[in-house]
Amino acid sequence: MQELNLPPFEYKVTQSSENLLIWDVLRRRHVVLTPEEWVRQHVVHYLINHRGYPKGLLSLERGHRYNQRQKRTDLVALDGHGQPLLLVECKAPSVPITAAVALQAATYNQTIGAPLLLLSNGLSHFCWRVNFEQRTNERLPEVPRYGE
């Protein structure tokens, strides 16, 4: 797999009859190792090991409804009260983070309501603090530590 612009982590990969699988610490099972999953696993470990996000407050591929359609977010970090704190949208390294990707995440976040938004393809990362009352956002240099 491609080297990413995220800290490395210890991972377990196995081969099934058809696919390469990686151990997912949140789902507690092996999942197919796609380029997007490689990024998602790096982001999960970055949030836990480098930004202090509790593993038990990270939710992968959480379902939500938008415009009467069922959608799934890549990752949502919850605060201590179970409310969305950080919405993460992961893309494969070959997929650039464009305005369309940002719009997709912002659209999802209208129903989720997380005050922090992170977009990553493993090479480029963009983080914003969202103020829903003032309808503004502030670009952040990095993901805030949990509790900041």
pLDDT tier at 68, thresholds 50, 70, 90: low
Q: What is the pLDDT of residue 93?
A: 98
b/e code 10-49 from CB counts within 10 Å (16+ = b): eeeeeeeeeeebbbbbbeeebbebebbbbbbbbbbbbbbe
Residue 102, pLDDT > 70, answer yes
Residue 52, pLDDT > 70, answer yes
What stretch of H or E contains 81? none
Q: What is the pLDDT of residue 63?
A: 53
- Please state, for a pLDDT cut of 70, what percent of the chain lies above it: 92
pLDDT tier at 76, thresholds 50, 70, 90: very high
From the options 2.40.50.140, 3.90.1570.30, 3.30.930.10, 3.20.20.70, give the CATH code of 13-140: 3.90.1570.30
Mean pLDDT of the chain: 91
pLDDT tier at 19, thresholds 50, 70, 90: very high
Rounded to 5°, the CA angle 79-69-109 comes to 30
Q: What is the pLDDT of residue 64?
A: 45
What is the distance, to the nearest Å, from the Cα of residue 128 to the centroid of all Cα atoms in its chain? 13
* Residues ≥6 apart with Cβ < 8 Å to 148: none
Q: What pTM, to 2 d.p., does this model score?
A: 0.90
